[in-house]
Structure 1
Amino acid sequence: MPGPPISDDAASPLRWVRACRRDALDPGAIHPLFMEGRHVILMWDADSVRAVERACPHEGADLAQGRCAAGKLFCPRHLAWFDLRSGAVSAGWAFRPLTIYPTRLVGGEIFVGFDPSSPDRAKDVDA
């Protein structure tokens, strides 16, 4: 269950919000959350935790039903994939990149960073 924000870093415009404990995030699984008014999914990719918007930018497919492998998140509806570092979509698709949220691991807790001045581009999830 997401928790309250941690103290904001004065040098960063981001609002860091607790997502879950590290041990609650199963390797290989995609975990959907609702944080700061956004549908987000969390997953481990190699040795990093990644947080991205839950709805595919193409038609709103639920990316929590997709799969994550080798730095890519695969859409369950269109088989397009997204680069988990940049959000870029695979070749042959023409729509905006996936929104990527920065993450931090602090004392066994995972935090996701949100820019309060940035509009939420995430669409509702089409289940």
Structure 2
Amino acid sequence: MDDEAIGSAWIPVCDLDRLEAETIVRVHVAGLDMLVIWNDGEIVACDRACPHEQADLGLGQVRAGRLYCPRHAVSFDLRDGAITVGWPSPPLRLYPVRVTDERISIEVQQG
């Protein structure tokens, strides 16, 4: 089944060299504020707002495969979005990414 048939689209958001230089790039895609993250050679796309109290995760830090919220001690596993054990919050929403010709795209659902 192709992307249009399931209501999703791949949207280009930034160049790979920019992400490698900045580690966290803030993007606005299909009405959503998102982050693209360079995590030790892996690319991750996620919501920009912390699901705990909506803090701007774009101001956070990436360390050892986790994204740390700038407001709390909470962090999220960049493999699956899981929050630090013991915090009453849903996981961080992650989005599929792909790289084509050094350009990063994020797959998002279309209304």
**Same-fold status (TM-score > 0.5):** yes
CA displacement, residues 38-61 of structure 1 (integer Å, 9 cap, x when unaligned): 000111111111110000001110
Contiguous gaps of at least 5 residues in structure 2: none
1:116 Cα deviation after fit: 2.4
CA displacement, residues 72-112 of structure 1 (integer Å, 9 cap, x when unaligned): 10001011000111111011101111110110011111000
State the AA in 2 paired with 1:59. Answer: E
The 8 Å contact of residues 30 and 110 in structure 2, kept in 1 or not, is answered as no
Superposed counterparts of 1:95-106, under 5 Å: 95-106=89-100
User: Greater strand share, 1 or 2?
Assistant: 2
For 1:26, what is the secondary structure of its paired residue? helix
Superposed counterparts of 1:1-127, under 5 Å: 10=2, 13=6, 14-27=8-21, 29-116=23-110
1:26 Cα deviation after fit: 3.2
1:28 Cα deviation after fit: 5.7
CA–CA separation in structure 2 for the residues paired with 1:34 and 1:80: 24
**Structure 1 runs of 4+ with >6 Å offset:** none
User: Greater helix share, 1 or 2?
Assistant: 2
With normalisation by structure 2, the TM-score equals 0.89
CA–CA separation in structure 1 for the residues paired with 2:110 and 2:79: 21
1:24 Cα deviation after fit: 1.7
Q: How many residues align?
A: 109
State the AA in 1 paired with 2:80. Answer: S
Contiguous gaps of at least 5 residues in structure 1: 1-8, 118-127
CA–CA separation in structure 1 for the residues paired with 2:36 and 2:79: 13
- The alignment-based identity, stated in percent, is 36
With normalisation by structure 1, the TM-score equals 0.79
CA–CA separation in structure 1 for the residues paired with 2:21 and 2:64: 13
For 2:20, what is the secondary structure of its paired residue? coil
CA–CA separation in structure 2 for the residues paired with 1:18 and 1:28: 17
For 2:17, what is the secondary structure of its paired residue? helix
